[in-house]
Amino acid sequence: MQIRRTKIIATLGPATDSPEMLAAVIEAGADILRINLSHGTHKDQAARAAQVREVAGSLNKEVAILADLRGPKIRIERFVGGSVELQTGDAFTLDASDEPPPGTRSRVGVTYKGLAEDVSVGDLLLFDDGMLTMRVKEVKAKDIICEVEAGGELGDRKGINVQGGGLSLPGIAQHDIEDIPRAAAMGADYLAVSFPRNADDMNEARRRLREVGSEARVVAKIERTEAIRNAGRFMKEGKMDAVKLEGGREVVETVRAIIEAGIPVMGHIGL
């Protein structure tokens, strides 16, 4: 009999809130149930974790809970129509002001209000895991004026990265510091750290978990250019138990370092 080594992670949400649907997900083979701390209230998240234990127990199944930290917010805001189609050569402005209007085909707000201070003319910005790119042409106060280099559809809340790194915001945000004890209280078996810069961020997450009495394993979500570029050192010095690849085409070069470190790799398929 062949042993299945690949494990299945399923993300919980409103669609899985009924005990019947959750049971069906577990029966279908889910090994780890992910609770995204970016969505829902703290009460909702705790209720889902409690229901996982109850339903899994009634089925005599063992499943793990993965609490996924929100991480620092490095995303665009929402568009009027949900998305825009951009062509190579188009001018496009990122608005880092405090209250930007809904996005249009020529501009959109960003959640990270320090972006204008962190980028320079000539920087290449990567959106949606590098599927769409823009070159910074000018920075005026909170406006970052760009030219599209690789076009495509840009939708609400897509992530932003800077090729080569350089974003100054920390890998463990204040809301993550507050969420770690909540993840421990819900009995999470894994804690995923979003947008870590380096090994120090991972070690801080582990330390904070241990301080509140949790033995949960920590998962590094490799998304920021700094982590990708320094993958070898990241893997050696970061006390992580698994890695989740989130950087699209950029992360291919990190796979060798992950394998050499003997760290399990997580990925995802959008359905």
CB atoms within 10 A of CB 59: 13
pLDDT at 115: 95
Return the residue matching tokens 């750290």: 193
List CB contacts of 5: < 8 A, sequence separation 6 or more: none
**Residue 247 scores a pLDDT above 70:** no
The confidence score (pLDDT) of residue 260 equals 74
Q: What is the Cα–Cα distance from 32 to 52, expressed in whole angstroms?
A: 10
Number of H helices and E strands in the chain, helices first, is: 8, 15
Tokens for 150, please give them: 């690789």
Walk across the sheet containing 91-95 and list its strands.
Answer: 107-109, 91-95, 143-150, 132-140, 124-127, 160-162
pLDDT at 271: 38
C-alpha to C-alpha distance for 81 and 3, rounded to whole angstroms? 47
Confidence of residue 252 (pLDDT cuts 50, 70, 90): low
pLDDT (average), residues 22-40: 95
Strand 91-95, strand 9-11: pairing: unpaired
pLDDT of amino acid 270: 44
Q: Is 83 helix (H, G, I), strand (E, B) or coil?
A: strand
| Mean pLDDT, residues 182-190 | 97
Q: Give the residue-averaged pLDDT of 222-242.
A: 78
Question: Does residue 266 have a pLDDT over 70?
Answer: yes
**Mean of the per-residue pLDDT values for the chain?**
89
Mean of pLDDT values over 87-116: 97
Total-model pTM: 0.78
* 78 has pLDDT over 70: yes
